[in-house]
Amino acid sequence: MKKYLKLFFTTLYISAFTFGGGYVIVSLMKKKFSDELHWIDDDEMLDLVAIAQSSPGAVAVNASLLVGKKIGGIVGALVAIIATIIPPFVIMTVISHFYQAFAANEFVAIALKAMQAGVLIVIADVVITLSMKIIAEKRIFPIVMIVLAFVATYFLKINLIYIILVCGFIGGISEYVHKKVVVAEKVIDTQEEIIDNQESYIENLEEKIQSLENELDQVETTDNENNGGKN
């Protein structure tokens, strides 16, 4: 119960401040649910964003359904959806009654303009964190994919669905190849290790043989000396 309340109020709080579309709410959800509350990890969050983005409808509603489901099952999903809808619903209901006065209000326009920079800060922060994580893997392909997907979206304005489908396909193949390479490298590593082990084992044996021979020599010399003493 306490979890559902927390989910409800966190989602409500996020939704009330989501100016500027789905990606802002997704960035805020990542900060709240993953960084702060640890209810969901970064990778899973990105998967859910991909699903939310590639389905029809509002990204914010889709994302809250998925995050809510992950956190609290079907009840969690319902709680999160309702909490996401309430703020825009209430605000729009009020505004639609006297919208002309609202749209013409200079102070409102200034405050909203000022808030753009804040929205930008939050998105930039999330982008920096997530891309540093991918760059830290030190693999060329994911980094190339970030650049290409960015060019395709921002400059070429290609439909997001196609980008997600194509990147999912290519990314899947790349992961498959990468895993094979990693496995092959591991096999080579273990075999090299085995060879190393055997080489050092042989060295050890040789050393032992050497020391035994030395001992034998010594024994023989003392034997000879003793025998010589007797004779």
**Under rule CB under 8 A, which residues in 149-208 are in contact with other proteins?**
149-150, 153-154, 159-161, 163-164, 167-176, 179
d(CA 53, CA 67): 13
Q: How far is the CB of 190 from other proteins (least distance, A)?
A: 21
126 forms part of the interface with other proteins (CB under 8 A): yes
12 forms part of the interface with other proteins (CB under 8 A): no
Location of structure tokens 């306490």:
2
Q: Pick the stretch among 109-117, 197-205, 212-220, 221-229 that binds other proteins (CB under 8 A).
A: 109-117
Cα angle vertex 24, ends 18, 26, to 5°? 110
Report which secondary-structure segment, H or E, holds 169.
helix 160-230
Q: How far is the CB of 3 from other proteins (least distance, A)?
A: 18
Of 18, 33, 34, 39, the one binding other proteins (CB under 8 A) is 18
Q: Which is nearer to other proteins, 43 or 206 (CB)?
A: 43
102 forms part of the interface with other proteins (CB under 8 A): yes
Of 4, 7, 33, 70, the one binding other proteins (CB under 8 A) is 70
| Rounded alpha-carbon distances, angstroms, from residue 144 to 61, 162, 170 | 31, 17, 12
87 forms part of the interface with other proteins (CB under 8 A): yes
Q: At what angle do helices 59-97 and 22-29 cross, to 10 degrees?
A: 120
d(CA 134, CA 212): 57
Q: What letter does residue 18 receive in the DSSP assignment?
A: -
Location of structure tokens 């639609």:
96
Of 41, 43, 185, 215, the one binding other proteins (CB under 8 A) is 43
Q: Which is nearer to other proteins, 94 or 188 (CB)?
A: 94
26 forms part of the interface with other proteins (CB under 8 A): yes
Contacting residues for 20 by C-beta, under 8 A, at least 6 apart: 116, 119
Contacting residues for 53 by C-beta, under 8 A, at least 6 apart: 22, 59, 62, 160, 164
Q: Which is nearer to other proteins, 181 or 212 (CB)?
A: 181
Radius of gyration, CA atoms only, the chain: 33
* SS3 of residue 157 by DSSP: coil
Of 3, 37, 46, 75, the one binding other proteins (CB under 8 A) is 46
Q: Which is nearer to other proteins, 4 or 67 (CB)?
A: 67
Of 56, 138, 227, 230, the one binding other proteins (CB under 8 A) is 56
28 forms part of the interface with other proteins (CB under 8 A): yes
